[in-house]
Amino acid sequence: MAGLFVSGTATAQDKPLVAGEKGVVESIVDGDTFFLESGLKVRLSALQAPKLSLGREHVQDWPYSHKAKKALSDLALGQTVQLFYGGLRRDRHDRALAQVFLLKDNDDTGVWLQEEMIRMGYGRVYTWPDTWQDSSRLYAAEGEARKDRRGIWGHEFYKVRGPEPNALAQDMDSFQIVEGIITSVAKVRDKVFMNFGADYRTDFTILLTKEGQKRFKKAGIDPETLEGARVRVRGWLELENGPMIQLDHTERLEVLD
């Protein structure tokens, strides 16, 4: 099923990508992180590849994490790349947060690493308020990979969840994609809730944060018009009454019909 970005009309908040560092990829950390020869650690923005434990006792390797690392290595190791920034340039770990393109011999940009990793099925679209540029292309690549069950999409761990609260309750504190119908939209003081059932105290809910409300308004979208729409939302599941995902920017919400 094809999706329509809620953010599709948000041209007023568009920011052009700005060219940053250029260099040769020296080593691969995992499916979305690598080092340049200069020592700069780069995190591929708007992409979440399967996580490796990397020696952390409290983290287990996710399914397909080693295959994702190999896929990025096959694409980029030893290659010259160009970094582009859409806003925030460093994350809290001091990694460059960039869109990354392979460079051709004439210095023209070639393969977009994020798009190619997602197209091959080795990552999910994972935008942040500052890293959403050209996300429609990434969602198209993800939809193609999911339809063909490439890579992670053939594994139960990454399946798109329904809004059933009891099932979602088993996945607290994890990044999930949830698809369902918004049955009602309610504003309570300064918060907007998109509910997926008759009982907001137990059912799955999207909480539209203050920043999310600003972005919806800037995009010219009234959240109440989404009542009755089938949507696909992604984010970290938490428990507040029932299972909840907080939405602080429109690019993590797809309207399916």
- On whether both 129 and 36 belong to a single domain, the answer is yes
How high is the pLDDT of residue 5?
53
The pLDDT of residue 162: 97
pLDDT of residue 107: 84
Report d(CA 71, CA 122) in Å as an integer: 8
Question: Domain containing 166 — which CATH number?
Answer: 2.40.50.140
pLDDT in single tens digits along all 257 residues of the chain: 445 555 443 333 456 889 999 999 999 999 999 999 999 999 999 999 999 998 777 878 999 999 999 999 999 999 999 999 988 888 888 899 999 999 998 889 999 999 999 999 999 999 988 777 789 999 999 999 999 999 999 999 999 999 999 999 999 999 999 999 999 999 988 899 999 998 888 999 999 988 899 989 988 889 999 999 999 999 999 998 899 999 998 899 999 97
Question: Domains in the chain: how many in total?
Answer: 2
Looking at residue 106, its pLDDT comes to 84
The verdict on 93 and 190 lying in the same domain is no
Domain match, 230 and 127 both: no
Tell me which of 100, 124, 154 is where a domain ends: 154
The answer to whether residues 168 and 194 belong to one domain is: yes
The span from the CA of 108 to the CA of 22, in Å, is: 12
Structure confidence at residue 14 (pLDDT): 59
Please tell me the predicted confidence (pLDDT) of residue 2.
47
Spatial separation of the C-alpha atoms in residues 150 and 118, rounded to whole Å = 10
Residues 141 and 229 in one domain: no
The three-class DSSP label of residue 29 is strand
On whether both 121 and 243 belong to a single domain, the answer is no
Segments of 73-212 assigned E as strands: 80-85, 96-103, 109-112, 124-126, 175-181, 184-188, 191-195, 205-208
* pTM recorded for the entire structure: 0.90
| 75 and 150 in a common domain | yes
At 134 the pLDDT is 86
CATH of the domain at 34: 2.40.50.90
Whether 188 and 149 share a structural domain: no
Question: Are both 34 and 150 inside the same structural domain?
Answer: yes
Same domain, yes or no: 94 and 190: no
Final residue before a domain boundary, out of 133, 154, 175: 154
Q: Are residues 125 and 24 in the same domain?
A: yes
> Which residue range is the domain that position 248 belongs to?
160-255
Residue 7 has what pLDDT? 45
Mark which of 154, 185, 208 sits at the end of a domain.
Answer: 154
Q: Which alpha helices (H) appear in the chain, and where do they start and end?
A: 65-76, 113-119, 135-147, 165-168, 210-218
> Do 69 and 111 sit in the same domain of this protein?
yes
